[in-house]
Amino acid sequence: MTPGLIVICGPTATGKSSLALALAQRLGAPILSADSRQVYREFDIGTAKPSVTDHKQVPHYLIDICEPTETLTVADYQEQAQALITQFHTEGKTPLLVGGTGLYIRAIVEGLKIPRVPPQVELRSQLQSQGQAQIYQWLQQVDPQAAQKIHAHDQVRTLRALEVYYTTGIPLSAQQGRHPPAYPIFQIGLDISDVDQHTALIQQRTATMLAQGWLAEVQHLIATYGAELPLLETLGYQEMKAYLQQHTSLDTATTQTVLHTRQFAKRQRTWFRANSAIHWFDAADPNLLTRVWNDMQSLSGL
């Protein structure tokens, strides 16, 4: 059997980690995290990192590989993930790539060519001060191909394209491309069609995080790194920080976390559903593991 890659993706709170553990134990395979926040140390409870027990059952990688004050780029992640996959293939193992960060998964599955240009804070600040309309016009002048793919109001991608151009002198569009890996890949998507059922799972997970000491974690991060740490502006942490700073009640912070998680899940769903190579499964199916296992054996080529 040819070593390859098994991907488990989909919206948040659909049981990706549980399925991955079960499959990894059957296969004797390692798990590679594809979560853009689990790479940062000390952001544990709010990112639903694997527990100590999970680590003992199955080796997990690409977790806690970066300090909260550092920035791990997609290119950095891709480089480390590809190196690990190559290592496991030499050992005859097929790793599982598991998570909800679509760009991380695309970087590996499609072999995206990513310019290795780190964030240029001062340059970005100067560009932002000019306003989105102006910098998008500049992008149309220096990289019209990139501008065609970027919405006129998408400041994040506009800034990135200009950042790459002004740093390297080469348009972003000329540096992009794909080089898909030669090994077989089987992509599994998990989702829950019942919106109310999914919302209940999100509510339950949020309550569990709070019971595990999430507020203490956020308080520690604020005390250690300051309230302006960018990671504290991400999903869940921003809402809990608002409560700890007495800007809102805990009930409101919790309700907002659930709402924003639902909205995030909707965006993830849209992203992953655009990939026709993903084999979708109902996360609420009591026979999920059996169905996934049977399909994987018959269709994956692994």
> Is-contact 135 159, C-beta < 8 A?
yes
pTM for this model (two decimals): 0.88
The three-state DSSP-derived secondary structure of 31-86 is: EEECCCCCCECCCCHHHCCCCHHHHHHCCEECCCCECCCCCCCHHHHHHHHHHHHH
| 135-171: pLDDT as tens digits | 999 999 999 999 999 999 999 899 999 999 999 999 9
Question: Which string of DSSP letters, residue by residue, matches 3-24?
Answer: --EEEEE-SSSSSHHHHHHHHH
| 97-138: pLDDT as tens digits | 999 999 999 999 999 998 888 888 899 999 999 999 999 999
Q: Which domains does the chain have, with CATH numbers?
A: 5-114+178-193+268-299 (3.40.50.300), 121-175 (1.10.20.140), 195-266 (1.10.287.890)
CA angle 76, 119, 180 (to 5 degrees): 35
278: tokens are: 């993903």
Q: Is the pLDDT of residue 1 over 80?
A: no
**Class of residue 235 by CB neighbours under 10 A (exposed 0-12, middle 13-18, buried 19+):** middle
Q: Is the pLDDT of residue 243 over 80?
A: yes
Of 209, 216, 185, the C-alpha closest to 2 is: 185
| 52-104: pLDDT as tens digits | 999 999 999 999 999 999 989 899 999 999 999 999 999 999 999 999 999 99
Residue 269: its pLDDT value, please? 96
